[in-house]
Chain A
Amino acid sequence: MSLSSDDVEKIAHLARLAVDPADTESLSRDLSNILDLVEQMQAVDTDGVLPMAHPLEMSQRLRVDEVTETDKRELYQSNAPLKENGLFLVPKVIE
């Protein structure tokens, strides 16, 4: 499995990561090596095997629909890099 520089740029965009053009070559080599390791999976026949959904075969637990959290907006926003009037600020998205 070998990823090209174009592949790497496409994956980086999907992951919302910026890749320095100087690093693309070494990154594509590293990622290709990891995918070579992963490729070993293809050697085993898994037809008819059910993919594991959960190690304990648990099903999703539901809770009673009751209010359990109090308003902690200010506390939770204390880590926000940029905020105003209880809102998170981002660059303008609508012209």
Chain B
Amino acid sequence: MSELHDKTLAELSAGLAAREYSSVELTEHYLQRIDDLDGQLNSYVTVTAERALEQAKSADARIASGDAGPLTGIPMAHKDIFCTEGVRTSCGSKMLDNFISPYDATVVTNLGEAGMVMLGKTNMDEFAMGSSNETSYYGAVKNPWNTDCVPGGSSGGSAAAMSARLCAAVTGTDTGGSIRQPAALTGITGLKPTYGRCSRYGMIAFASSLDQAGPMTKTAQDAAMMLAGMAGFDPKDSTSADRPVDDYVAALGQSIAGLKVGVVKEFMENDLDSGIAASTQAVLDQLKKQGAEIVEISLPNAHLSVPAYYVVAPAECSSNLSRFDGVRYGHRCENPKDLEDLYKRSRSEGFGAEVKRRIMIGTYALSAGFYDAYYIKAQKIRELIAEDFQKAFKQCDVIVSPTAPETAFGIGQKTDDPVSMYLQDIYTIAVNLAGLPGMSIPAPLSGGMPVGFQLIGNLFDEARLLNVAHQVQLATDWHKVTPEGF
């Protein structure tokens, strides 16, 4: 029998239903693992042990009364960007180090109602701005595969906690790759749903037209179960998609024979790392073996996605983060001499360097005289990229590429050069700009380190993505490899 923490959500669900173990026992097991192992990783910023055990007791009562759903009693964690009532919600920032959320995010409410147990809140890049989890006020997170390396970001704490099995599943958010890139670097499965599929209510805003919540898990099947619990229309989010949620779990059984898989030509050429190329090819060969047809597609404007993103995302962040003024909540400077001093010093003391850089880029892009040249231009390029995808989807059912350009890099290796850090997301950002769903699943290791394989679907095609990923995972063991020592 495999260890409790190696079980998938479906296995845990069955074990709980058969009373092989209780939710309290499962929760204690995970709390013990966090206690024993997280000192090496720094993946949690807050552990809510007492509350978790209370939730586990309620879950056990619910299971005993026959009122349990598939997620009831399973211990999970939330990225610390999701507001959790009565629990500090820091967003990885000094600005919110003292912020106790007065309400729950809708995703937190949904998974709570499904009966999941929250173990705690995971570390992240400050305000989700980063690709290495090094911008967190609470310190860098380490990659369980090599603790000298980063886990990726911004959902780096979630990725490291999942990879080390310090939770059974975890939430993340993805604005430019923040679920998929860390999933790739830590060897787990991560899904960014279609924009609007999961509610953004109570998810601290970074770039509102791009932000989306999603699950990070061991397997595609687990991701399907989690997304089923997270997704849905929410009147509290004005951009929430008002359409029914597909039955992701029921859609997992379909053969992929005849599936048309589009390989992005531009992402496979030039200077693609040879190890990443080999791992990507191995997954393509596997898809072919299972009957899929591989076609080459082109995204001719994809190379403009990083430049356009670094206008749109900072512009929206400069607007969203203007709410942090030292008045209503968050950090406030000592002895302000006037209102302007209060704003400037509270913000400068509360925000870290990367957040300040992005606020300033956004402020500049939105300032009088520059708006058309930057923001409007970027939104036009966004339209071109979205059109490229729609043309490509006439030739194929899913689009694939590597998730990230390299395996996990060393802690401190890119911190002095923001632009080199931004290029971590060259394969993921276009998906956010077009609002599409994207997924990263483990490919074969390269040099002993995890590699991610990205699957991109058309709008609201999560069920198909999850099924394709599940079919590959049924036939391979790439997703079952775990880091030594964890």
Contact = CB atoms under 8 A, between A and B. Distances in A.
State whether these chains interact. yes
Interface in B373-398: 373-374, 376-384, 386
Chain A binding site: helix, strand, loop or mixed by DSSP? loop
Nearest to B364: A11
Given A17-B344, A56-B435, A82 B381 contact: no
Interface in A41-95: 41-42, 44, 46, 49-56, 58, 60-61, 63, 72, 75-82, 88, 90-93
A53 B238 contact: no
B329 A80 contact: yes
Contacts of A37: 306-307, 310, 419, 422
Interface stretch (B115-123, B155-163, B331-339, B405-413): B331-339
A39 interface: yes
A30 B379 CA distance: 24
B420 to A, nearest CB: 10
Interface residues of A, number: 51
A46 B307 contact: no
Contacts of A31: 357, 360-361, 364
Interface in B289-306: 301, 303-304, 306
Nearest to A81: B332
A44 B357 contact: no
Contact of B341 (A15, A30, A91): A91
B367 A14 contact: yes
Bin chain B's interface residue count: 35 or more
Contacts, number: 161
B478 interface: no
Chain B binding site: helix, strand, loop or mixed by DSSP? helix
B196 interface: yes
A34 B361 contact: yes
B383 A15 contact: no
Contacts of B373: 42
A56 B196 contact: yes
A49 B301 CA distance: 13
B37 to A, nearest CB: 32
